[in-house]
Chain A
Amino acid sequence: DVKVTQSSRYLVKRTGEKVFLECVQDMDHENMFWYRQDPGLGLRLIYFSYDVKMKEKGDIPEGYSVSREKKERFSLILESASTNQTSMYLCASAGVVSYNEQFFGPGTRLTVL
Chain B
Amino acid sequence: GQQVMQIPQYQHVQEGEDFTTYCNSSTTLSNIQWYKQRPGGHPVFLIQLVKSGEVKKQKRLTFQFGEAKKNSSLHITATQTTDVGTYFCAGALKAAGNKLTFGGGTRVLVKP
Knowing A99-B31, A101-B45, A103-B45, the reply to whether A58 touches B104 (Cβ < 8 A) is no
**Assembly CA distance A48 to B11 (angstroms):** 32
Within 8 A of B (CB), among A28-69: 31, 33, 35, 40-45, 48, 50, 56, 58-59
**CB <8 Å contact, B31 and A43:** no
User: Is the CB–CB distance between B48 and A100 below 8 Å?
Assistant: yes
The 10 closest A-B pairs by CB, nearest first: A99-B92, A98-B98, A42-B104, A43-B102, A104-B42, A101-B45, A42-B102, A104-B43, A42-B105, A106-B42
Are B42's CB and A45's CB within 8 A? no
Does B33 interact with chain A (Cβ within 8 Å)?
Answer: yes
Known contacts: A41-B104, A99-B92. The answer to whether A90 contacts B99 by CB under 8 A is: no
Shortest distance from the beta carbon of A106 to any chain B beta carbon, whole Å: 5
Interface size class of B (residues with CB under 8 A): 20 to 34
Q: Is A86 interfacial (CB-CB < 8 Å)? A: no
Residue A102 interfacial (CB < 8 Å): yes
| In the complex, per-residue mask of B51-91: 1 if CB is within 8 Å of any chain A CB, else 0 | 00000000000000000000000000000000000001010
In the bound complex, how far is the Cα of B18 from the Cα of A25, in angstroms?
Answer: 37
- Give the residue name and chain of the B residue nearest to A105 (CB): B42
CB within 8 Å for A101 and B42 given contacts A42-B105, A45-B99, A59-B1: no
B103 touches A40 (CB 8 A): no
Inter-chain contacts of B44 with A (CB < 8 A): 104
Q: Are A99 and B45 in contact (CB under 8 A)?
A: no
